[in-house]
Amino acid sequence: MRIVVTGAAGFVGREVCKHLLQRGDDIVGLDVNGAGMAGGIRQVIGEIAEPSVRREIFAEPCDALIHLATVPGGAAEADPAASRRVNVDAMYDLLVEAAAIRPGLRVVYASSIAVLGDELPPVVDDQTPLSPRMIYAGHKAMMEHAVAMFSNRRAIDGVTLRLPGILARPKGPSGMKSAFMSDLFHALKNHEPFECPVSGSGTIWAQSVKKCAENFVSAVLIDSALLPASRTVTLPAIRTSMADLAEEIAVQCNAPAGLVSYEPDKSLEAAFARQPMLRTPAAERAGFAHDGNRANLVRNALASI
């Protein structure tokens, strides 16, 4: 298959491209920075908000589009106009152009659990309403509806994957307010002290980048009849406390658990570490999965750094 991947040099994008290449797919990768792209793909360097760049990625026929390019959470809060330009306007144009080039094109869109908001019920499931607060989350929610609308019109064949925390991101600035989850891995792998900005009892939903990429590959091929009418599923995730996660990382890295201290930031805790029970029957019926257990999550995440 010939597959276009936007955000191909990003954390998830690189892993998705790696899995697609292993399948033997022909990949066109778009990103503002070609340095992080996997070898063996045709690179398109530029801003997705530029019409000429979007024309270039569709210069030849393709079988699917995986849309990962985004202005992430913290960066979107700092620059809402940039978030609208990339996360809303450019994506909407991308859907219109994809439909015009190949009606019914499979489009896989990366959304986020942030669309659910901060004040969550005791159990989150497929019926939990969206209540975004952050700019990033609001824009993601808007485009979930756009994917459903274009799919209902048979302009595209859309699949939206709502991502939990994906681990473990490379060390360094990412523009993600949830980056502390990955920073914990780097610190313990290097046997360095780490001050966690949420409490040890704080709970998160997480999935390794390896499993995340596998789910995106599955989404390219899935029968859309298995999806709900919204065309959106929340990906299954491991729910874990930060203390339990730190303990498992320490065990696998042979690091002292005492390296981790906790200094909770109320806003971060509210946004990222109060995740209740999660039920994802729609995603599971469609064949999507999590890492299986916390030990596998940590093992797979450590393998990515």
Q: What is the mean pLDDT of residues 38-43?
A: 90
Compute the C-alpha angle 50/55/57, nearest 5°. 100
What are the extents of the domains in the chain? 2-165+206-234, 168-205+238-276+292-303
Length of the chain: 305
Say what the pLDDT of residue 305 is. 86
Same fold, 2-165+206-234 and 168-205+238-276+292-303: no
Q: What is the mean pLDDT of residues 122-129?
A: 96
Task: State percent of the chain over pLDDT 70.
Answer: 98
Judged against a pLDDT cut of 90, whether residue 271 lies above it is answered with no
Judged against a pLDDT cut of 80, whether residue 88 lies above it is answered with yes
Q: Under CATH, which architecture does the 168-205+238-276+292-303 domain have?
A: Alpha-Beta Complex (3.90)
Say what the pLDDT of residue 64 is. 98
Q: What is the mean pLDDT of residues 196-203?
A: 95
Q: What is the mean pLDDT of residues 197-226?
A: 96
pLDDT band at residue 174, thresholds of 50, 70 and 90?
A: low
pLDDT band at residue 35, thresholds of 50, 70 and 90?
A: confident
Q: Under CATH, which architecture does the 2-165+206-234 domain have?
A: 3-Layer(aba) Sandwich (3.40)
CA separation for the pair 151, 154 (Å, rounded) = 5
DSSP 93-135: HHHHHHHHHSTTEEEEEEEEGGGG-SS--SEE-TTPPP---SH
Judged against a pLDDT cut of 60, whether residue 259 lies above it is answered with yes
- pLDDT by residue (tens digit) across 94-111? 999 999 999 999 999 999
Q: Where do we find the tokens 């824009």? A: 139
Range 18-37 burial, b when 16+ CB lie within 10 A, else e = bbbeeeebbbbbbbeeeeeb
Alpha-carbon distances, residue 122 vs 91, 172, 178, 211, 277 (angstroms): 33, 34, 21, 26, 7
